[in-house]
Amino acid sequence: MDFLIANFAEILFYCLAFLTVASAIGVVAFKSPVHAALSLLFCFVMVAALFLLRHAELLAAVQVLVYGGGIMVLFLFVIMLVNVKDLKLEQVFLSGIAPLAVIGGVLLGVLIAFGLVFGVLASGHGDGTALRSVDGDEIGNTEAIGAVLYTKYLVPFEVVSVVLLVAMIAAIVFGRRSAGLEGAGGGGGKTS
């Protein structure tokens, strides 16, 4: 019991980490797209819990709101709109890239393991002060992120807003039916 209390944070971390990885594997392992999507949702929530464990409250909230809320809804929309039961499995395509995917996955795993072994384990992990302090003044996590985002990182933040705008333009350009001259009376584009 004493062991449990003394190492509560670690035990909680390993439980959450196990559930995160298990649900991530579930995303690719489940045959039904709805189950896979639910598994993904569970994975997002677990990551949010991991953020909470590191005292990154804002990140945890954003993780739940943006990923668990917004992005999951889009995933589910697509699954509902496309009649998944009628889709055939593309056996040839998948078996063709399977070796490549395995090699890529193993490479990625090695890279991340490398980073963990040489980085985190060698230097130990911090106490999370950096997450809630700006220029040495300790304030809350949310205030710290806000202060840094709207002062030092203002330029990247504003440029990201243009990135999102471009993404919207991209969706419209690719989503509309013709070449974009229908409003102008130009009709569709040449199909040749």
Partner 1 sequence: MSLADFVPFLPEIFLAVAGLAVLLLGIPMGSRGSRPIIAISIGALAATAVLIFLVGRPTAGPQLILGDMLVIDQFAVFFKVLVLIASALALLMASGYLDRAGYSSGEFAALILFADLGMFVMVSGANLASLYVGLELMALSVYVLVGYFKLEVKSNEGAVKYFVLGAASSAVLLYGISLIYGTTGSLDLETIRSSLTGVPHQNVLLMLGIVLVAFGMLFKVAAVPFHVWTPDAYEGAPTPVTAFISVAPKAVAFAMFLRLFAGTFASEVDHWWMLLWIASAATMIYGNVAALTQDNVKRMLAYSSIAHAGYALMGLVAASDNGTWAVLMYMGVYTFMNLGAFGFVILLESKGYAGERIEDFAGLARRHPAAAAGMLIFMLGLAGIPPTAGFMGKLYLWAATVEAGYVVLAVISVIMSAVSLYYYFRSVVQMYLKDGEAEGEAAAQMLNDRWTGTAIAVCAVLTLVIGLWPAPLVGWAKSGLSALGF
Residues that bind partner 1 (CB under 8 A): 111, 114-115, 118-119, 151-156, 159-160, 162-163, 165-167, 169-170, 172-174, 179-181, 183-192
| Nearest distance in Å: CB 85, partner 1 | 26
In the bound state with partner 1, the residue whose beta carbon lies nearer, of 4 and 159, is 159
In the bound state with partner 1, the residue whose beta carbon lies nearer, of 77 and 114, is 114
What is the C-alpha separation between 65 and 48, in angstroms, rounded?
10
Buried b (16+ CB within 10 A) or exposed e, 28-57: eeeeebeebbbbbbbbbbbbbbbbbebebb
| Nearest distance in Å: CB 134, partner 1 | 12
In the bound state with partner 1, the residue whose beta carbon lies nearer, of 93 and 174, is 174
| Nearest distance in Å: CB 138, partner 1 | 18
Which helix (H) or strand (E) covers residue 73, if one does? helix 72-81
Cβ partners under 8 Å of residue 34, min gap 6: 76, 79, 84
In the bound state with partner 1, the residue whose beta carbon lies nearer, of 119 and 128, is 119
| Nearest distance in Å: CB 80, partner 1 | 24
Residues 162 and 79 sit within 8 Å (Cβ to Cβ): no
